[in-house]
Amino acid sequence: MDTAISNSAGIRDIAYHLHSQSNPRHHEQQDPFVVVRGDGAYVFDNKGKRYIDAMAGLWCASLGFNDKRLAAAAARQYERLGFNHTFYSRTSDVTTDLAEKLVSMTGMRDGKTYFATSGSEANETMVKFAWMYHAARGNPRKRKVISRDKGFHGSSIVAASMCGLEAMHNNFGLPLDGFIKTLCPDGYRVRRRGEDDAAFVARLVDELEQLIVREGADTIAAFIAEPVIAGGGIIPPPAGYFEAVQMVLERHDILCLDDEIVCGFGRTGNWFGHETVGMRPDMMSMAKGLTASYFPMSAVVMSRKIYEVIADSGWLGHGFTYSGHPVGAAIALEAISIYEEMAIVEHVRRVGERLRSGLERIGAQSSIVGDVRGVGLMYGVELVADPVAGTPFDPALQVGQQFQALARENGLITRCMRDTVGFSPPLIIGDGEVDDMLERFSATLGAIEARVSK
């Protein structure tokens, strides 16, 4: 074993713990990153080193890592009612309060909230409800789901099938049949030279419609999308994209499923990402920011149109033990109160602008930044070998991996999606934390630039 692995927590982690989204053999060779406490947007490892977490964990710790009000709300609810379920018409007071709150926040007039535990479960729930919807209306063959290249929707079998990322399929024999992909609306990599937004959107939508016709509209249940693609590399759509997509979906009686798991609760500078991008969903899934990730809870909010069909279908044979967990609900209600008190939408827009202009300024001075993109508090900086031609780095160089490792040494936690450096910090950050992130980013970028230009 590597002598650098010097602490007991790390040694035991290697001995006993199989990690998500990690390479087990690499994990055996390196000092595990053991986080022991948080302070706002900062976390500390077990050696006492402090980091600013520019990814809010997994795009999710919107209120930072040690919010006292969320801890108190959890403690109060644990003392009052530590568990309840939502089967057989049973509920808890806080669960109902949250269901009502989510319907009113999303503007799903007369809609309903369904609770689950993880983002993957919420997305799979939307697929099951879409199948029910079409079957109940006499179209049981409408079962396929269209998603986009580079989209991410979770790790369970159907959710992974909807991902447009090979790593989610390799080794598992996925995607399942019937989970088909359309183009990613990636303005940097998929847009052709000379194509303006309108021409790019027309091409994307044309490709989508051809796919629908080829597969048969009578076999397609739903289209699922993140308003702004997150894990696939932080990719906002071109103007007019969702409006045009939606016209095609409506023409073919295909439901629009909105994955708000990252974009919901302020991340894009609106309460929900669909407002930012002009999407009109039939159902939307949410998790992460819902409880600021202090409890594993997710939800699906559906329109009246979907609910009425489900309600007429008899017994709903679906549910999770922890659906509508009262502690999760109490935490979510408290998180939403905090978001409202801090005027999260305005805050994200203001602070996000500082982050965006800082990244653009640093990018403009660098010889390896090809693209700075994003919205709200969600940005990606794509590193390339040649910014003029947009030539990517040779994948063998693993520039993103190198950047991520060096950034950590510099006290900055980012996530590199291939060679795109991600920023999705806790929404509570202020100007000081933005400047701190920018400084550490700039120092890391300079060092990587020197390395690759040797």
Ligand X SMILES: Cc1ncc(COP(=O)(O)O)c(C=O)c1O
Q: Which run of H or of E encompasses 157?
A: helix 157-162
* Least distance CB 117 / ligand X (angstroms): 8
Residue 283 engages ligand X in binding (rule: CB under 6 A)? no
Binding mask 54-93 for ligand X (x = CB under 6 A): ----x-----------------------------------
Stretch that binds ligand X, among 148-156, 323-331, 375-383, 443-451 (CB under 6 A): 148-156
Residue 158 engages ligand X in binding (rule: CB under 6 A)? no
| Cα–Cα dist 295/277, whole Å | 28
Give the list of residues 6+ apart from residue 105 with CB closer than 8 angstroms, or none: 271, 272, 336
The one among 108, 287, 351, 429 contacting ligand X by CB under 6 A: 287
Stretch that binds ligand X, among 75-83, 225-233, 331-339, 437-445 (CB under 6 A): 225-233
* Cβ–Cβ < 8 Å for 235, 185: yes
The one among 41, 230, 355, 375 contacting ligand X by CB under 6 A: 230
Closest CA to 362 of 332, 383, 390, 377: 383
Token pair 């809609």 is found at: 111
Cβ-based nearer residue to ligand X, 113 or 120: 120
Cβ-based nearer residue to ligand X, 244 or 286: 286
Burial bucket for residue 424 (CB in 10 Å: 0-12, 13-18, 19+)? buried
Starting at the edge strand that comes first in sequence, how are the strands of the sheet with 255-259 ordered? 112-116, 298-302, 283-286, 255-259, 220-225, 144-148, 179-182
* Least distance CB 200 / ligand X (angstroms): 23
* Least distance CB 206 / ligand X (angstroms): 26
Cβ-based nearer residue to ligand X, 64 or 231: 231
Starting at the edge strand that comes first in sequence, how are the strands of the sheet with 42-45 ordered? 35-39, 42-45, 50-53, 412-413
Residue 295 engages ligand X in binding (rule: CB under 6 A)? no
* Least distance CB 411 / ligand X (angstroms): 24
| Cα–Cα dist 352/31, whole Å | 33
The one among 183, 234, 262, 335 contacting ligand X by CB under 6 A: 262
* Least distance CB 60 / ligand X (angstroms): 8
Stretch that binds ligand X, among 43-51, 112-120, 128-136, 442-450 (CB under 6 A): 112-120
Give the list of residues 6+ apart from residue 34 with CB closer than 8 angstroms, or none: 7, 9, 10, 13, 45, 46
| Cα–Cα dist 207/242, whole Å | 14
The one among 92, 95, 120, 182 contacting ligand X by CB under 6 A: 120
Q: Which positions touch ligand X (CB under 6 A)?
A: 58, 118-120, 123, 152-154, 226, 230-231, 259, 261-262, 287
